[in-house]
Amino acid sequence: MKLLKQKVMNEGIVLGSGVLKVDSFLNHQMDPVLMREVGREFTRRFAGEEITKVLTIESSGIAPGIMTALELGVPLIFARKQKSLTLTEDIFVEKVYSFTKKESNEITVSKKFIAAGERVLIVDDFLANGEAAFGLARIVEQAGGSVAGIGIVIEKSFQPGNRLLQEAGYRLESLVRIASLEDGRVTFMEEDEVLPG
């Protein structure tokens, strides 16, 4: 996705070999035009999947998630990381470890929002090790739904998330795939390139 690649090149900041800061357009300040295009692209890629809901995780997944849900004409659900006084029972709970933040979170989704038979598209901002995507997929499956696919805005292809999710049988579509963040530079993968491992 050309517009997204340009944003990563122009505004992304490499913080070491494993961390890319994109807070000027994706996960602090958000570019609504870019998010609309992200939603359209996910809708195009997952056309024909009969998606009934989009599921993401707060907070960075909400912008691409809501734009995808808008384009698909379906509701967006976001898994909460923060404890809520109003969300205490009849919930799905999964533990998810964030390698960027070096912490585990319990994510929760109310059982009333995902029903058996739902076709759920998972959308998230980043893919590294796949922890968030796996946690969201387990919630969908606990509900008796099926994962129609996983849409990722930026994939760090040098980490194992892509391989692990595909080995588990999930359809994965990443809009931008990064091969390396070495030497303070973003190196993109070619469209059909597969990293060894």
- Could you please report the per-residue DSSP string of 41-59? HHHHHTTTS---EEEEETT
Residue 119, strand partner residues = 146
> How many Cβ atoms are within 10 Å of 83's Cβ, its own excluded?
9
* Best CA proximity match to 65, nearest among 132, 3, 121: 121
Is 2 annotated as a binding-site member?
no
Is 20 annotated as a binding-site member?
yes
Is 156 annotated as a binding-site member?
yes
- Interacting residues of 64 by C-beta distance below 8 A, sequence separation 6+: 26, 35, 38, 39, 42, 56, 123, 124, 125, 151, 153
**CA separation, residue 94 to residues 24, 147, 174 (Å):** 30, 16, 23
Is 27 annotated as a binding-site member?
yes
> End-to-end CA distance of the chain, in Å?
25
> How many Cβ atoms are within 10 Å of 100's Cβ, its own excluded?
13
Annotation: binding site for 5-phospho-alpha-D-ribose 1-diphosphate = 128-132
Annotation: binding site for xanthine = 20, 27, 156
Annotation: binding site = 20, 27, 128-132, 156
